[in-house]
A and B are shown apart, each in its own frame.
Chain A
Amino acid sequence: QVQLVQSGTEVKKPGASVKISCKTSGYTFTNNWIHWVRLAPGQGLQWLGQIRPSDTDNAPRFRGRVTMTADTSTSTVYMQLSSLTSEDTALYFCARDGGTYGDNEFWGQGTLVTVSS
């Protein structure tokens, strides 16, 4: 069955970067897009970007701060967010689409990132 397992909780200082991993299994890694979405306190879901090995798209508001990469040997995707501020404190999810636009059927468990001095 399809599974997405994310790395653990992170605590970072303002100005630092964070890199979250999302290890996938149960499907052909190159066939589907992996989306990165976050849920910040008091805010709704925000789309950060998507990656399918060798292709990426970033949300305009995060362009320049979000870097997504993929390791096809381990079926793992990574999302790095740089220049962190307190507003980046959020629960970050990776999610796999179902084959059409944005239909994220499978989700990771979420990674809590706290940015605090």
Chain B
Amino acid sequence: QSALTQPPSASGSPGQSVTISCTGTSNDIGYYNYVCWFQHHPGKAPKLIISEVTKRPSGVPDRFSGSKSGNTASLTVSGLQAEDEADYYCTSYAGRGTYVYGTGTAVTVL
């Protein structure tokens, strides 16, 4: 059960969009619609921003959106703001009660 693959970094200017990919296998992302995304600011606990591939929890701005195609899930942050600078992690259910997390992507707002 290997970690999901994410690009190490991504960046964009304020107001622009950035999309982060999360690649797994047919045993996790490709099979289950249980992909979540978390935003993590160092020194704080991670924050859930997307569940079940596309759902935004209450209070999460609609600038954050999720999608999935095949074995790859994606998170798009539109209208980048300074406070979006953080690490982002995907996770997927992998069957038999187990989960796998992504390698993480550091987003920089230029």
Contacts of A59 in B (CB 8 A): 1, 98-99
Of A45, A46, A104, the contact of B48 (CB 8 Å cutoff): A104
Size category of the binding interface on chain B: 20 to 34
Q: A107 touches which one: B46, B92, B96 (CB < 8 A)?
A: B46
Interchain nearest-CB distance for B25 vs A (Å) = 14
B77 at interface, CB cutoff 8 A: no
Mark contacts of B76-106 with chain A using CB atoms, 8 A cut-off: 1 yes-contact digit, 0 otherwise. Answer: 0000000000000101110011111111100
Task: Determine the chain B residues whose CB is within 8 A of the CB of A104 once the complex forms.
Answer: 36, 38, 46, 48
- Which residues B44-102 have CB closer than 8 A to chain A? 45-46, 48, 51-52, 57, 89, 91-93, 96-102
* In the assembled complex, B3 has its CB within 8 A of some CB on chain A: yes
Cβ-defined partner of A57 (8 Å) among B38, B57, B91, B97: B97
Bound Cα distance from A101 to B99, whole angstroms: 9
B98 pairs with A60, CB closer than 8 A: yes
Supposing A102-B93, A103-B52 touch, asked if A110 and B34 sit within 8 A by C-beta, the answer is: no
CA distance A100 to B48 in the complex (A): 13
Which residue of A39, A50, A102 is within 8 Å of B92 (Cβ)? Answer: A102
**Residue A17 at the B interface, CB < 8 A?**
no
Q: Which of chain A's residues have a CB closer than 8 A to the CB of B3?
A: 44, 46
Interface residues of B (CB under 8 A from A): 1, 3, 6, 32, 34, 36, 38, 40, 45-46, 48, 51-52, 57, 89, 91-93, 96-104
Q: Could you list which residues of chain A lie within 8 angstroms of chain B, going by C-beta atoms?
A: 35, 37, 39, 44-47, 50, 57-61, 93, 95, 98, 100-105, 107-110
